[in-house]
Chains A and B, each alone.
Chain A
């Protein structure tokens, strides 16, 4: 197993590449999901504010 992660001595280069890809490709959908939630909540809040005015 440790032999696999060593990548013949090039582990640092291989895993730095793979790690950054994994990081950004997880971060992007998570950020979009959070943004989506907060957008929907804002719209609901606005609707309630409008309703209470009338």
Chain B
């Protein structure tokens, strides 16, 4: 089946397509997140190695932290596509991704603080993983701020795309802040991400919740990109023909 992808690079054909996909992704998100959390709370032991029941924060903490990092890469990919092909839709996708990415980063820091208080006895520490995650939050905020500071869309799209690309340097820092090859080189408070040591029921629940978070992010990013299209294309005829649904 040959799909003409460039057809969907025009806002007028992407808008209705996105509208059809939103309920699908939202339903999948609800089913996966509820199912994953049910499994994670009721079908798992009360301890994870030396951690007591507070380890259950893991489901939302890991899911939001992964999303925070991946969405940044997704955002940069859209921004780069925009710079190469000069397609309006790519820039709109990049800017729609930023706020959801910032929310995911904030959630990972929030849930991490509550987990840290129980397992390390501190809400916050200037440990490499936490510090780099905080910088990621500032990068998202910087991208959003820069975009809203420049009124001309074409200029703000390109300027913020370049900022996003420069900020990509933080992603390997976040990754290696706990997965560094030589433990003597980085002393971090944060646990290593060692999926092998996690009990399989907990791991399954965690991965299902993460899949649900992906679906949620797809849904809200598409919702936001539809709003961005309406804002930017309000002068066009096809937008004027749209009806308000009751």
Contact = CB atoms under 8 A, between A and B. Distances in A.
Interface in B71-126: 99-100, 103, 106-107, 110-111, 114-115, 117-118
A28 B111 contact: no
Contacts of A24: 103, 106-107
Nearest to B22: A29
Contacts of A16: 114
Given A20-B110, A40-B230, 12 more contacts: A8-B52, A14-B114, A21-B60, A24-B106, A28-B99, A36-B226, A39-B227, A39-B234, A41-B244, A43-B230, A46-B234, A46-B240
Interface of B: 26, 37, 41, 46, 52-54, 56-57, 60-61, 64, 99-100, 103, 106-107, 110-111, 114-115, 117-118, 216, 219-220, 223-224, 226-227, 230-231, 234, 239-240, 242-245
Contact of B118 (A10, A40, A43): A10
Contacts of B107: 20-21, 24
Given A8-B53, A13-B54, A17-B61, A43 B226 contact: no
Give the secondary structure class of A's interface: helix
Contacts of A9: 53
A44 B244 contact: yes
Contacts of A17: 57, 60-61, 110-111, 114-115
A14 B53 contact: yes
Nearest to A29: B220
Residue among A17, A24, A29 with the highest chain B CB neighbour number at 10 A: A17
